[in-house]
Structure 1
Amino acid sequence: MNGKEVNHRELYRLPWNLADNAISWLEPTALCNLACDGCYRDNEKDSHKTLDEIKRELDVFQSKRNSDCISIAGGDPLLHPRIVEIVAEIKKRGLKPILNTNGAALDKSLLKDLKKAGVFGFTFHVDSKQGRGGKWKGKNEIELNELRYEYARMLADEGGIACSFNSTVYEDTLQYLPEMIKWAEENIDIVHTMVFIAFRHVVPNLPFDWYAGGQKIDWQAIAYHSDNERKVDILSTDMVAEARKIYPEFSPSAYLNGTEKVDSFKWLLTERFGSKGKIYGYAGAKFMEMVMTFHHLLKGTYLSYASPGLASMGRSTMLISFLFDRGVRKAFANYLKNPLNIFRKVHMQTILFIQPVDFMQDGRQSMCDGCPDITVWNGDLVWSCRLEEQKQFGMFLRSVPKRQGNE
């Protein structure tokens, strides 16, 4: 690690759990118009769920899980012919509709319709291994900032819609992470969240056999596998170390640990205060605890996405919370060093690192404890990132260490 280590006991453990969670994950379709390296969903042409099926899945969420927002994913949800109605249905139920999309099917006309239906925000998946064509073919992560800006500008011009981006981080793209976070700083007024997800796949260099119940299966039958040996153990702390190459004071404030490893950082969240081109500092654990506690007290849910209006209230937020949080006090002091800052708008921006399934030496699979991306399958709640196992084998797979000498 570069700079100070990340200590889970100094951070706020997000209180999310299976029954009471900030987010739930709805998949109205598995159809997609891109082919991302590392995707954990089969691209299925005839996979659009009916509106009645979607309503039943929302019923399951609302009967079993207390949530602030519904992440509408897939596949790409914008390809569903009734996506505007789906958004309206979620909004009608008092939940925040968040569209998780690659953005390729979005235009200004559809955006206006989605806003009228009540969309709260978008999370655009943009990275260099999606097979994009046209002017974006072969572009690296930094060059794709131009596309990210197009999406962010489109939302900002429409107004009142939260803008987030996520990218899968691979061994050869980890190097670009600092500049991507720098780009987010330069556009802090219209970019509210940046999410970086470490690449995971089943690869031949993993020393495990795979079982569905008592039946051994061919690892190459697993939907999310790569035939070549690849690095599949990038950690969220590796991403923090990269961020600190540009931001030495980069300081996460909250986390989710693993189901099998208490001091791992499956979701590692950083909240920072800044103006365009200038970061004043980072919120600490007490700030995040205060936000989650008061939101749950007032709204009955843990906060997921903040509105653009709330994210732009950085100055008043620092004034309200600096007495309670050391990180906010430091950020506020940095802000006050320059009297001219009084004329600059202060924004809040979230940087999130996600570390998916980890394989322990004994074969246990450490998932996100309190997973926000839980979806519905056969009327029950299951991990969305491993849904293909349920579809293929009727259960989640077990990984078992290979016996010595086994291929």
Structure 2
Amino acid sequence: MRIDTRNLYRLPWSVNDNPIGWLEVTDKCNIVCKGCYREELEGHRPLDVLEEEVRRLKELRNPDSICIAGGEPLLHPQICDIVAYVNSLGLKAAILTNAVNLDENLARELKRAGVYNLKLHIDQWQSRPHHKRKTEVELMDLRQSYVELLRKVGGIDATFGATVYRENLQYVGDILAWAQKNIDVVSGLIFLTFRAVPTGGEVELYAGGKRVDPKELRYSTNDATEVGITAADVLDSMRRVYPDVRASSFLGGTMCPDTPKWLLLTHIASSDRSYGFVGPRTMELAQTFHHAVFGKYLTHGDRPRLGPGYFGLSAIDPAVRPGLRRWATDLARRPWRLFDRTLTTQSVLILQGPDHLEDGTVDMCDSCPDMAFFEGKLYPSCRLDELRKWGTLANAHHTDADARRRAESARQKLPIAPPC
């Protein structure tokens, strides 16, 4: 089902007024992820270089938080110093990690350094020690072990992420249900649709006017049919568990502005009861209020602890009213729910990666929140390896349009968006 973005709030983020700054501290990693777009070419980056990039991100992007990424950032020997420096500039430090190296001691060190959020990426297509060839459902115990660790340490919210493939698309609703049960620790979820460059002859890749081999990129695949999952597909899959699921806001594409590249949902729930999802009016209020008061837009991981106060939003947001009625019914039956400390919000981000269009251009995320520096300029971080290998971003020429259309009609779509 296609998402009608006319009914959603278009996030007001821009390149130079964006809630997220992206900082890549290393390209070393300790596992292999099928959905990874970073190859080890440089190793750990020096602290002074990283500090300069943080300063420039603050100056150029006006971020609310800095997402420290890699590679695997927990491998960087000065990771706590990096977190502390980000924190010293009045920015929130978040770390995107596979969590293989995360233990209680390191979590406490990161907490002392000032980390506010850990984004733990766990999915079934990772060469994770002792967890190979496990399904998303079988990985719930691993996710739960990290929740218990962070619950014990306290003071660090967790966001769990997973790359969505055809093999695990059916489980996204189950992951959301698991996250709700742990809503006191898990502040959000991120689902990234798998994207890669086909290597089976469907695409000819050019960089700087010269043809290049897509197999040189980490993000390439010999099965073009596996990279067509959209944000709408992920949202539809969630409805199996949450029939009332709805999005509130989006970022469109650079070429197809009505394509939701970042699709945001906000779930109002306690650990054992769902009260629905907010609508566009709530997100508009949250973004504009935060910018008016703090001078920055809001990141998707933030959540004020309002408890039942969230239902006051029903005055301006019709989407919240069914949840208010549900909560009032629950309160009449169980008055102690008035003091339910787990009642809060949980954000869900569905990120639809780059889509190659028929004319060879790429539909990227408008106002890309995950831009990183390369040789002093900002580029989408998901395509940095093209710059690191070829010195420029590549474009594609599609050689088999008829095969693509046949595949799309069979719901086995190639990574080519329909015409805008």
| TM-score range relative to shorter protein | over 0.9
2:39 corresponds to which of 20, 26, 42: 42
Correspondence 1:26 to 2:18? no
**Deviates further, 60-69 or 385-394:** 60-69
Q: What SS does the corresponding residue of 1:123 show, helix, strand or coil? A: strand
SS at match of 2:48: helix
Matches within 5 A, 1:7-406: 7-44=4-41, 47-134=43-130, 136-205=131-200, 207-306=202-301, 310-319=303-312, 321-338=313-330, 339=332, 340=334, 341-345=337-341, 346-402=343-399
Question: Is the Cα–Cα contact under 8 Å of residues 264 and 348 in structure 2 kept in the other structure?
Answer: yes
- Does the CA contact (< 8 Å) of 2:291 and 2:298 recur in 1? yes
- One-letter amino acid of the structure 1 residue matched with residue 109 of structure 2: D
> Are the aligned partners of 2:188 and 2:301 in contact in 1 as well (CA < 8 Å)?
no
How far apart, in 2, do the equivalents of 1:265 and 1:209 lie?
A: 26
In 2, Cα distance between equivalents of 1:259 and 1:205: 27
Q: d(CA) in 2 for partners of 1:246 and 1:305?
A: 22
* Length-normalised TM-score, structure 2: 0.91
State the alpha-carbon separation in 1 of the partners of residues 201 and 345 from structure 2.
Answer: 40
Deviates more, 1:209-218 or 1:121-130: 209-218
User: Take 2:168 and 2:395, find their aligned partners in 1: how far apart are those partners?
Assistant: 30
Amino acid at match of 1:22: P
Name the CA distance, whole Å, in 2 between partners of 1:212 and 1:163.
39
> Which shows bigger deviation, 57-66 or 337-346?
337-346
1:313 offset after TM fit, Å?
2.4
Q: Distance in 2 between matches of 1:233 and 1:404?
A: 15
User: What letter corresponds to residue 264 of structure 1 in structure 2?
Assistant: T
Aligned length: 397
Query: Counterpart of 1:236 in structure 2: which amino acid?
Result: A
Q: Aligned-pair distance for 1:276? A: 1.2
Q: 1:305 to 1:10 in 2, by over 3 A?
A: closer
Q: TM-score, normalised to structure 1's length?
A: 0.94
How far residue 402 of structure 1 moved from its aligned partner, in angstroms, is 3.0
Quick one: distance in 2 between partners of 1:265 and 1:67?
22
Contact map agreement 1:17 1:370 (CA 8 A) in 2: yes
Q: CA deviation at 1:187?
A: 1.7
Q: C-alpha distance in 1, partners of 2:245/2:18? A: 26
Paired residue secondary structure (1:120) = strand
SS at match of 1:400: strand
Q: Which moved more, 1:80-89 or 1:154-163?
A: 154-163
Q: C-alpha displacement at 1:296, in angstroms?
A: 0.6
CA distance in 1, matches of 2:178, 2:27: 31
Flag the 1:94–1:343 CA change in 2: closer, same or farther, 3 A. Answer: closer
Q: Is the 1:208–1:363 Cα contact (8 Å) retained in structure 2?
A: no
Quote the Cα distance in structure 2 between the aligned partners of 1:192 and 1:109.
22
1:163-198 alpha-carbon deviations (Å, 9 max, x no partner): 101000111111111211111122222211011100
Q: In the aligned structure 1, how far is the partner of 2:35 from the partner of 2:241?
A: 28
The answer to whether the 8 Å contact 1:60/1:380 transfers is no
Give, as a single letter, the amino acid of the residue that structure 1 aligns with 2:186: V
Shift of the 278–62 alpha-carbon distance from structure 1 to 2, 3 Å rule, reads same
User: Identity of paired residues, percent?
Assistant: 37
Structure 1 Cα separation of the partners of residues 328 and 366 of structure 2:
39
Determine helix, strand or coil for the equivalent of 2:198.
Answer: coil
Contact between 2:354 and 2:365, CA under 8 Å: does it hold in 1? Answer: yes
Decide whether aligned partners of structure 1 residues 193 and 306 sit closer, same or farther in structure 2, where only a CA change above 3 A counts: closer
Q: Partners of 1:175 and 1:37 in 2: how far apart? A: 18
Conserved in 2, the CA contact under 8 Å of 1:185 and 1:274?
Answer: yes
Q: What is the RMSD computed on CA atoms of the aligned residues?
A: 1.7
Aligned mates of 1:266, 1:403 — CA distance in 2: 25
Distance 1:403 1:162, change over 3 A: closer
Which runs of 5 or more structure 1 residues have no equivalent in the other structure?
none
Contact 2:159 2:301 in 1 (8 A): no
